[in-house]
Structure 1
Amino acid sequence: MSIDLEDPPQGRAEAEFAAELARIRPGLAAAYAEALPGARSTVLGLLWRGLLYEPVPGVAGRESALGRIRLSDGRLLTGPRRSPYDLEVGEDAAVLLDGRVYRRPGELVAALGLPGAARFGADLERSVASLALARAGAGMGSGTGPDERSLEWFEQSVVDGHPYHPCCRNRPGVSVAEQLAYMPEHRPVVDLDLIAVPVSRCVVVGAWPVWLRDIDRLLLPAHPWQSRHVLRELGLRPLVAGGIPARPLICVRTLAPVGGGPHVKTAFSTRMTSNVRDISPGSVRDSAPLSAMLVDLARRLDGGLRITRNLAAACAVVNGEPSADLAVLLRESPSEYAGAGETVIPVAALIVRPPNGGPPLIGGLPTAGPGWLAEFARLAWGAGLRLLAYGVTLEAHGQNLLVVLDRRGRPLRLVYRDLADIRVSPARLRRNGLTPPPLSPRLITDDPDELHAKLFGSLVGTTFSSLVSALGQGDREVEARLWAAVAAAAVQVFDDLPATGDTRADRAALFGTELPVKAHTVMQLDGGPAGDRWARFPNPLAQT
């Protein structure tokens, strides 16, 4: 079961958020209203990036670098010039369709007549309203915030969400009150419920901890939103309401218990950005073999990568079938891999600007610049390309990939978490003398294009792109030097790898004229196949 709602006509989401704020948090209403224009510009800019560079239907021709699109019906769409990797397009973004100015992304989608425009437009308008709420309320939550500079503090500093997704803050079915109570940017403490399910009615992987057992029953942690909106309809009620106080991390449904211990990934069955955030039974079953394989491969590298192990996973059997709506995964905290005097930070937090303005966090590091990025790139390519040579690709975007910094802010090692979206090539593993583990079919592919898209699309298309943009601040000469440092690090790793057919193919794909990047806008439209969709973006590594 999942929540997948549509808003009324475009613009209503902003008004509905304002009305609810006036009732429950009037002191935040002015800040929300002040944040709306900037939120509209941000979401419109993300939509504009997709229109400029993704294979959106109804486009006859593009001059992307000039900000011009000719539609199949002859209309002309013009807007700000932007690189596909720019983080910002300005505080007063506007797009013109045959001379008419559009500042609301939902209205622009409706005017373009894209397939699924009503639903997509509603998602965009919700994204605007939620983004404005996030910016207005960041750091002003009612809960006790985490210690400054802790992992949780950095996680909750990521207010804007995905840096390139037009639905970066789309949360259908989650009210304003619930966003203030549960969303990480508001720094709340969320009290997880405990659902008692007989062991005989559970799928269990790993050693389920004693403290989450009640004689012959498992106590499955559940998000309170899930308990209220989804589990109740399945006839499931908490045995203990609010049994585990925890702090939400970037991805909302993974939380860090206040008392320490493993992180808890819960089901939250509504769409956020693109996908419904439940936990499939396949992910539960895959959790142990994935974890064992990645930990083993990471040990074969040169020590620059750590994997947060999946410790245990379980889901309830409901109506005779394993349920994605009542499933949970217990995972090591990335903090386990930071020593004394070291700091572990999600890469996504490095591009965050402080609420009062100023440079992004990465700009404040004492060693920030091409040298810092080169050292980070050596770690990232060392892990990513060597694992790819073995036959495993990471989805190494800024939420899954964390960096451990020393006292001066220099990168020491990387930590990777959330293994559910990697891809595994059995053929490559066998060519390296390894036995492929039993995994769900969706994780398995020997297609080099799929392997390259997963790694390069996340690592170049999101992680390096956002870091280069944050450090370069729109100066194309500085950005070119930064991209050159990224490319040089990849060249060095390839030079150190055995020159096999696989690594030669990987090298040619990485330095080609275009790279696959996830097509976030196209994925929101009706009529395409399910799952990931890809665009071919100009490759900044080929230009260095």
Structure 2
Amino acid sequence: MEPVDLNAAADAYAATPLLNCLLREAAEPQGAGVHRLRGSGRMLRVHGSRRPVHPELGTPDGWRPLSHTELVTLTSDELRRYTGLPNDELPAEIADSRAALAALLAARATATPPADPYVLSEQSLVMGHPHHPAPKARGGAPAASWLPYAPEAHARFPLVFLGLREDQTREEGGEAAAEAVDALAGALDGPRPPAGYRLLPAHPWQLELVGSRPQIREAFADGRLLLLGPGRLPAWPTASVRTLYVPDPAVDRFVKFSLDVRITNDVRRLWRHDLLALRRADAAVEAGFAALRRTGSPAAWLADRGYRTARFAFEELAVLVRDGLRAHVTPGATPLLAAALAEAAPGSPPARTTDPAAWWRAYLRQVVPPVLELFARHGVVLEAHLQNTLVAVDAAGTPVQALFRDAEGVKLLPETERGAAWQRLVYCLVVNHLTEIAGALAAHHPDISSFLWPAVRAEFLRYDTTRGLPEIAELLDAPSLPGKTNLLLRWIRADGADARYLPLPNPLRG
């Protein structure tokens, strides 16, 4: 076997999402892989559509291949012309993402993948978000500081346990949430706090990032906070980087931490306003899924049960506990991250199915109705994008259940204007999610391409016929769908929670 050129591989992985953004947000297709860039009018040619590679710039002497560095320079110049705004931050972030990819690929070459297919799916996203300009950026820090905690490098590591004085503890979620936090030390063979203190688990990278801040350093000095030490058994980082999975049967929980690092569009901190709204949002979603179960639906919600943190470092030291898998997954089924299915690696369910049409219908039947039902009957907007959705498959690889997560991203009506809420639902479910799974399926089974979107349309119509939702008719007749502008959002330095959309051709239109 010939050795892999890691630099070339890193360039390719980094170029694809950047090209997807540039072509979607700042170019116009001309046919045959050629696109006219709106800022300058220059022509750019790429190979491939869903995962474009090998960019070439049109010149008087023909097509000139662009290196990754030249592609970043071209993108920056185009966005300056197109928006009229400068930005020195984003090119550095794109370069950081590419450097991170090189480090991840080198680490993966010698790492031992997890045996659990679910954990493996969470740790398989080498390229990352296919429509973000810098999906693997890690804050510009050297790889040695974050690589030990990277899911893409098949990392696993122990939590660090702190003792937090009881009068300095802030928590919400009741006894069940408190017991789930306290049980982590037992499950991971960790130290226990002394009398008068509560257990506060911490992500080791989180402590490295914020441990020297004055309010935390002072709390260690005066005894409000104790460093108890690491556990002896590991937890597994999932695709979000800051959420870890503890599969031990005694706990079976996900734990989510603050990380003061920008990953894609946001600094991944557990923000105070989100934590304070958490239980209300989660309760609304739980009620919706309980109603779904009464109708016989297997769909499940991985509830965010509560949080614990320090009063003097509310966001920096917060830990959130989320339901694990065992109590929710259909017996005998194997849960997999939807984002991993979108990459359709050889041997994955969409790649190996012998009946792709039946597989796609089964996928739609599990994923689409719960999202529509929660919106129509309970005023809940799930962020059903690829990283918030798990799909459980049976022994043959056929989807038999969808599981959803992340109350932090949930929107509730009527606090959220209905039109904006529906737009967010359509973007997450259709543009971000179904478009990618459909593309992955077609990549392995080209003959099914003409069937994919009529099947999605039929699933929406089936729901509308049986349950009724006024927005569906408009969606199926609309000329366009909302596409999120991640490149432009980062270029104009928009707030991480902001979302702006541009129209994309609607494949659902009859």
SS in 1 for 2:234: strand
2:460 aligned with 1:494: no
The structure-2 alpha-carbon separation of the partners of 1:396 and 1:367, relative to structure 1 and needing over 3 Å to count, comes to: farther
Question: Aligned partner of 1:160: which letter?
Answer: M
The structure-2 alpha-carbon separation of the partners of 1:376 and 1:331, relative to structure 1 and needing over 3 Å to count, comes to: same
The structure-2 alpha-carbon separation of the partners of 1:513 and 1:331, relative to structure 1 and needing over 3 Å to count, comes to: same
Paired residues of 1:452 and 1:509 also in contact (CA < 8 A): no
Paired residues of 1:36 and 1:129 also in contact (CA < 8 A): no
Question: Aligned partner of 1:317: which letter?
Answer: R
Task: Specify which of 504, 514, 517 is matched with residue 470 of structure 2.
Answer: 504
The structure-2 alpha-carbon separation of the partners of 1:216 and 1:157, relative to structure 1 and needing over 3 Å to count, comes to: same
Look up the match of 2:101. Answer: 131
Paired residues of 1:401 and 1:416 also in contact (CA < 8 A): yes
User: Counterparts of 1:139 and 1:419 in 2: how far apart (Å)?
Assistant: 35
Look up the match of 2:240. Answer: 251
* 1:192 CA displacement: 1.5
* 1:139 CA displacement: 6.3
Look up the match of 2:298. Answer: 304
Paired residues of 1:140 and 1:187 also in contact (CA < 8 A): no
Task: Specify which of 172, 194, 210 is matched with residue 139 of structure 2.
Answer: 172
Describe the superposition over 1:126-182 as per-residue Cα deviations: whole angstroms up to 9, x where unpaired. 1112123323322633xx753242x21221122222232221111114432234311
Q: Which moved more, 1:235-244 or 1:391-400?
A: 235-244
Question: Aligned partner of 1:492: which letter?
Answer: R
Q: Using structure 2 for the length normalisation, give the TM-score.
A: 0.85
Paired residues of 1:375 and 1:411 also in contact (CA < 8 A): yes
Paired residues of 2:344 and 2:351 also in contact (CA < 8 A): no
* 1:468 CA displacement: 1.1
Look up the match of 2:385. Answer: 397
The structure-2 alpha-carbon separation of the partners of 1:482 and 1:361, relative to structure 1 and needing over 3 Å to count, comes to: same
Look up the match of 1:460. Answer: 430
Paired residues of 1:516 and 1:535 also in contact (CA < 8 A): yes
Describe the superposition over 1:248-296 as per-residue Cα deviations: whole angstroms up to 9, x where unpaired. 1111111112634211101111001121111012222222222221111
Describe the superposition over 1:168-204 as per-residue Cα deviations: whole angstroms up to 9, x where unpaired. 1111144322343110122222221123222332321
1:389-428 equivalent positions in 2, closer than 5 A: 389-390=376-377, 391-426=379-414
Describe the superposition over 1:431-485 as per-residue Cα deviations: whole angstroms up to 9, x where unpaired. xxxxxxxxxxxxx30231x212221111111211111111111887632311221
2:336 aligned with 1:345: yes
User: Counterparts of 1:346 and 1:510 in 2: how far apart (Å)?
Assistant: 28
The structure-2 alpha-carbon separation of the partners of 1:71 and 1:308, relative to structure 1 and needing over 3 Å to count, comes to: closer
Paired residues of 1:406 and 1:412 also in contact (CA < 8 A): yes
Task: Specify which of 98, 103, 118 is matched with residue 67 of structure 2.
Answer: 103
The structure-2 alpha-carbon separation of the partners of 1:511 and 1:177, relative to structure 1 and needing over 3 Å to count, comes to: farther
Look up the match of 1:201. Answer: 168
Look up the match of 1:375. Answer: 362
* 1:125 CA displacement: 1.2
Q: Using structure 1 for the length normalisation, give the TM-score.
A: 0.80
* 1:353 CA displacement: 5.3
2:34 aligned with 1:67: yes
User: Counterparts of 1:112 and 1:375 in 2: how far apart (Å)?
Assistant: 42
User: Counterparts of 1:274 and 1:385 in 2: how far apart (Å)?
Assistant: 26
2:5 aligned with 1:41: no
Task: Specify which of 337, 342, 349 is matched with residue 362 of structure 1.
Answer: 349
User: Counterparts of 1:445 and 1:137 in 2: how far apart (Å)?
Assistant: 43
SS in 1 for 2:88: helix
Question: Aligned partner of 1:524: which letter?
Answer: R
Question: Aligned partner of 1:49: which letter?
Answer: N
The structure-2 alpha-carbon separation of the partners of 1:128 and 1:511, relative to structure 1 and needing over 3 Å to count, comes to: farther
Paired residues of 2:457 and 2:476 also in contact (CA < 8 A): no
The structure-2 alpha-carbon separation of the partners of 1:528 and 1:317, relative to structure 1 and needing over 3 Å to count, comes to: same
* 1:53 CA displacement: 2.1
Q: Percent identity?
A: 24
User: Counterparts of 2:59 and 2:494 in 1: how far apart (Å)?
Assistant: 25
* 1:48 CA displacement: 2.3
The structure-2 alpha-carbon separation of the partners of 1:109 and 1:41, relative to structure 1 and needing over 3 Å to count, comes to: same
Paired residues of 1:139 and 1:187 also in contact (CA < 8 A): no
Paired residues of 2:17 and 2:129 also in contact (CA < 8 A): no
Paired residues of 1:265 and 1:329 also in contact (CA < 8 A): yes
The structure-2 alpha-carbon separation of the partners of 1:39 and 1:507, relative to structure 1 and needing over 3 Å to count, comes to: farther
Paired residues of 1:334 and 1:415 also in contact (CA < 8 A): no
* 1:489 CA displacement: 1.0
User: Counterparts of 1:381 and 1:353 in 2: how far apart (Å)?
Assistant: 20
Q: Give 5+ residue unaligned stretches, structure 1.
A: 1-29, 427-443
Look up the match of 2:492. Answer: 526
2:46 aligned with 1:80: yes
* 1:515 CA displacement: 0.8
Q: Which moved more, 1:381-390 or 1:524-533?
A: 524-533
Look up the match of 1:272. Answer: 263
User: Counterparts of 2:78 and 2:351 in 1: how far apart (Å)?
Assistant: 41
Look up the match of 1:432. Answer: none
Question: How well do the aligned residues superpose, as a CA RMSD in angstroms?
Answer: 2.7
User: Counterparts of 2:89 and 2:398 in 1: how far apart (Å)?
Assistant: 44
Paired residues of 1:75 and 1:97 also in contact (CA < 8 A): no
Look up the match of 2:307. Answer: 313
2:175 aligned with 1:188: no
SS in 1 for 2:230: strand
Describe the superposition over 1:86-135 as per-residue Cα deviations: whole angstroms up to 9, x where unpaired. 1x124x34445786543223222333353344211111111112123323
User: Counterparts of 2:47 and 2:376 in 1: how far apart (Å)?
Assistant: 37
